């Protein structure tokens, strides 16, 4: 009986240590560049377990921010895109009236184009830790996804990912630049093949 108690105690201590390490803020300093390493695996960043997207005849109207970064382009939604970005206040993931108006227009376009799938990217400005901003970016993308679903867009057509502060649109350290980085970006992706 004593052996089982000791083993259970050791397992409990190891679990607490592992969880504590995973949640503790990083003691290392941030790299001077806010860009991910060049060999970053986009499937890992896009969310494992979402399934593979197969080839399709349907063209995409944009590339993900990571694809743009890898090809040396700015992660900007083209002006010709039918889906517009929504922006957030500092340290917030709730939708403003302006963001809801943009999402209503995005939803109308998505409802008239039912074969289109969209990945919603959550982005943040550089303030805060990388971990915090990844979580905040995820909340922003999820808020946009949930609102689109309430407007009648099938949630299985919408996937989310967070880039946190890692792929900024603007790199200056001032409010006019930071507000451009606090966004949810909509990237039209190839449809999954029918099963």
Per-residue pLDDT tens over the stretch 42-64:
333 333 333 333 333 333 445 78
Residue 150 has pLDDT above 60, yes or no: yes
pLDDT, average across residues 156-168: 97
Quote the pLDDT of residue 154. Answer: 97
- How far is 142 from 155, CA to CA, in rounded Å? 11
State the pairing for strand pair 158-164/117-123.
parallel
- How far is 168 from 83, CA to CA, in rounded Å? 19
Quote the pLDDT of residue 19. Answer: 35
Quote the pLDDT of residue 74. Answer: 80
90, 89, 106, 190: which is closest to 144 by C-alpha? 106
Q: For the ranges 69-73, 124-128, 135-139, 146-150, which has the lowest average pLDDT?
A: 69-73
- How far is 157 from 113, CA to CA, in rounded Å? 11
Quote the pLDDT of residue 38. Answer: 34
Q: Please, which pLDDT band fits residue 193 given cuts at 50, 70 and 90?
A: low
Determine phi and psi for 9, rounding to 5 degrees: -65, -45
CB of 164 within 8 A of CB of 124? yes
pLDDT, average across residues 7-17: 40
| 107-114 long-range Cβ contacts below 8 angstroms, 24+ apart | 107/148, 107/151, 107/152, 107/153, 109/82, 109/83, 110/83, 110/148, 110/153, 110/157, 111/151, 111/152, 111/153, 113/82, 114/154, 114/157
Identify the helix (H) or strand (E) that includes residue 162: strand 158-164
More confident position, 39 or 66: 66
pLDDT, average across residues 142-161: 97
pLDDT, average across residues 18-22: 36
DSSP structure class, residue 173: S
Domains of the chain: 82-195 (3.30.1330.60)
**pTM of the predicted structure, to 2 decimals:** 0.67
Residue 180 has pLDDT above 70, yes or no: yes
Quote the pLDDT of residue 16. Answer: 36
Residue 166 has pLDDT above 60, yes or no: yes
Q: Quote the distance between the C-alpha of residue 126 and its chain's center.
A: 15
Q: pLDDT tens, 74-103?
A: 888 888 999 999 999 999 999 999 999 999
pLDDT, average across residues 116-143: 97
For the chain, helix, strand, coil in percent to 5 are 40, 10, 50
Quote the pLDDT of residue 75. Answer: 83
For residue 187, list its beta bridge partners: 119
- How far is 93 from 101, CA to CA, in rounded Å? 16
């Amino acid at each position: 009986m004593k052996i089982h108690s000791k083993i259970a105690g050791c397992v409990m201590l190891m679990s607490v240590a592992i969880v504590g390490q995973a949640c503790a803020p990083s003691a290392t300093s941030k790299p001077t560049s806010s860009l991910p390493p060049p060999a970053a695996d986009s499937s890992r960043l896009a969310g494992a377990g979402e399934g593979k997207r197969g080839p399709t005849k349907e063209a995409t109207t944009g590339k993900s921010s990571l694809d743009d970064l890898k090809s040396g382009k700015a992660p900007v939604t083209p002006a010709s895109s039918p889906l517009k970005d929504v922006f957030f206040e500092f340290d917030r993931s709730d939708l403003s009236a302006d963001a809801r108006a943009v999402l209503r227009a995005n939803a109308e376009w998505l409802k008239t184009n039912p074969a289109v799938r969209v990945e919603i990217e959550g982005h943040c400005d550089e303030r805060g830790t990388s971990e915090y901003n990844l979580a905040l970016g995820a909340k922003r993308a999820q808020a946009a996804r949930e609102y689109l679903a309430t407007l009648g867009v099938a949630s299985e057509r919408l996937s989310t990912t967070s880039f946190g502060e890692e792929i900024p649109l603007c790199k200056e350290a001032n409010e006019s630049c930071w507000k451009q980085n606090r966004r949810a970006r909509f990237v039209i992706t190839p449809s999954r093949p029918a099963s």
